[in-house]
Amino acid sequence: MGETQHDLTLTYDPRKTWAHFVLYTEPDRGIVTASMNGTVAIEHRSPYVQQWLSRLQRCEPNPLHTTLVANHEIPKLFHPCVDEDPASPSAIAGSGCVCRRTFTDPAFGLPVVGEHFRTCRDDGDSDHLPWKTHHIDQWTYRTYTPLGLRDGEAFASLIIDQETFWMRTDRGNITLLPQRRGHGYGLAGTGGRTALAEYIQQLADSDGRDTYIADRRGPRHAGASIETFLQSPHAKQTQELTLTDIKRLAV
């Protein structure tokens, strides 16, 4: 049965704690992922990332979290961090760690998986007992993007945060920019830049009212001025673009 976009309504009701979520599967290849939502990995830290992280709720792994990791990594979802249990199967060389943590974004009911990567090295010499020193300790967060804003919230600004793209709502909430699977955004490559330009054009054409990526039919050609801006050095700076800014770009 083929996918019919306009027949699908993906919603999240925090009162019932469930979401309509469409999966894509290839059982013979062990592939299970989102059918419509885009996937992003966030490695850097910024005020925008911190605001988003502060909203996440720690939770037990559920089936949606397993779609964000490779099949052989699923057991790691259930292993504690070495900071919580030094005897964890995720421990490496004592205090090193390759654990996973699972969260839920309560704004959309979407799963988030934090990937911990901490390495250690031995420092010391023959006259001293060696001690462990961390030289890499980082978290990468993988999640799905929403397909649009929730009812009752409106677009306020688009945020360029390195290669991560956010949307701020009129309530001050921050969310990853709605993105469709297979159409990721970016500034470096032509494909990602074109997808971002088309979405910016969509916001400009609708006065910020049309944020729902799943309703798009075919390509939406962006104005040349948007393309020119996204190719410029200025676009690579961390910034927030209001609706006025976006409409000015689309002229």
Q: pLDDT tens per residue, the chain (251 residues)? A: 444 444 445 555 555 554 556 777 776 666 666 667 889 999 999 999 999 999 999 999 988 899 899 888 999 999 999 889 988 998 887 778 889 999 999 888 889 999 999 887 555 444 444 445 557 889 999 999 988 888 888 999 999 999 999 999 999 999 999 998 888 899 988 889 999 999 999 999 999 999 988 555 555 678 889 999 999 999 999 999 999 999 999 87
**Cα(251)–Cα(243) distance, integer angstroms:** 13
Q: What is the pLDDT of residue 125?
A: 44
How far is CA 96 from its chain centroid? Answer: 25
- Using a 10 angstrom Cβ sphere, with 0-12 exposed, 13-18 middle and 19 or more buried, the burial of residue 136 is exposed
* Side chain identity at residue 236, one-letter code: K
Q: What is the pLDDT of residue 141?
A: 97
Output the CA–CA distances (angstroms, integers) from residue 108 to 61, 149, 173, in the order listed: 17, 9, 12
For 45-63, the pLDDT digits (tens) are: 999 999 999 999 999 998 8
Nearest CA to 21 among 104, 101, 102, 111?
A: 111
Kindly report the backbone phi and psi dihedral angles of residue 227, in degrees, each rounded to the nearest multiple of 5, phi listed first: -60, -45
* Side chain identity at residue 63, one-letter code: P
Domain boundaries, the chain: 5-144, 155-249
Q: What is the pLDDT of residue 4?
A: 41
Query: Which pTM value belongs to this model?
Result: 0.82
Q: What is the pLDDT of residue 93?
A: 79
**Cα(172)–Cα(20) distance, integer angstroms:** 25
How far is CA 74 from its chain centroid? Answer: 19
Q: 3-state DSSP call for residue 33?
A: strand
Q: What is the pLDDT of residue 182?
A: 81
- Using a 10 angstrom Cβ sphere, with 0-12 exposed, 13-18 middle and 19 or more buried, the burial of residue 189 is exposed
**Cα(202)–Cα(204) distance, integer angstroms:** 5
